Amino acid sequence: MDYAKILENIETSKTKFNKQSEVKLIAVSKNVTSKEVVNLYTQGQIEFGENRVQELNKKIGELQNYDIKWHFIGSLQSNKINQLIPLRPTLWQSCNSFKLACGVDKRLNYKLDTLLEINVANEDSKSGIEINRAVEEYLHIQEECKNLNMCGVMSIGAHSDDMSLVKKSFDDTYKIYEKLRPHGAKICSMGMSSDFELAIECGSNMIRLGTILFEDMK
């Protein structure tokens, strides 16, 4: 789908939740090269996401002349923490355990905006913190890890053709987000190519799109 059409669909979905809400689009460039990133950037897209530290490092190097904001959205292995930190991502969306949070926190020499990744689908293949522990873990990290600036939550919707299951996973994420709002949470990152419209209708204010954005470019 072209960029303008996607932006239009985001606007339409927003009106079904709350006209006033801002929904930020993050372009996930993990399966494309810097060339496609530049293509989208010239159309006005500023924020991009990568799920591997090495690839993030490579693209940052290649795209130094562009004022791009990079998000880290992948599972972070502890042996990659030292490589991620100097890249200074705009947002680390995938903090998925207290232990990992502490590992990053103790090495940071600046404040890193961070989201707690929740495993709302409770699928074994997905990383993230269980729903019923999410609020407690978030507050624990916020209390103990002073270099992590906890900004909200991220989840990956249930992988299912049954839209009611996908919706439930977004509703569950949103409920956790609401509980964390009094504690400073501002970002509810949910929605990917196959389900972003539903995610926005359920209250998402940050979506992460890869496939649908880049499919026509390759």
Interface contacts to ligand PLP, rule CB under 6 A:
28, 30, 51, 73, 156, 192-193, 208-212
List alpha helices for 115-162, DSSP H. 131-144
> Nearest CA to 8 among 190, 196, 156, 167?
196
CA distance 38 to 46: 10
User: Minimum CB separation from ligand PLP for residue 36, in Å?
Assistant: 13
Do 6 and 213 touch, CB atoms closer than 8 A?
yes
User: Minimum CB separation from ligand PLP for residue 20, in Å?
Assistant: 25
Residue nearest to ligand PLP (CB): 210
Do 76 and 108 touch, CB atoms closer than 8 A?
no
User: Minimum CB separation from ligand PLP for residue 126, in Å?
Assistant: 9
Cβ neighbours of residue 5 under 8 Å, at least 6 residues apart? none
Report the residue number, 126 or 139, with the smaller CB distance to ligand PLP. Answer: 126
Report the residue number, 41 or 110, with the smaller CB distance to ligand PLP. Answer: 41
Report the residue number, 203 or 210, with the smaller CB distance to ligand PLP. Answer: 210
Do 148 and 95 touch, CB atoms closer than 8 A?
yes
Report the residue number, 7 or 139, with the smaller CB distance to ligand PLP. Answer: 7
User: Minimum CB separation from ligand PLP for residue 176, in Å?
Assistant: 17
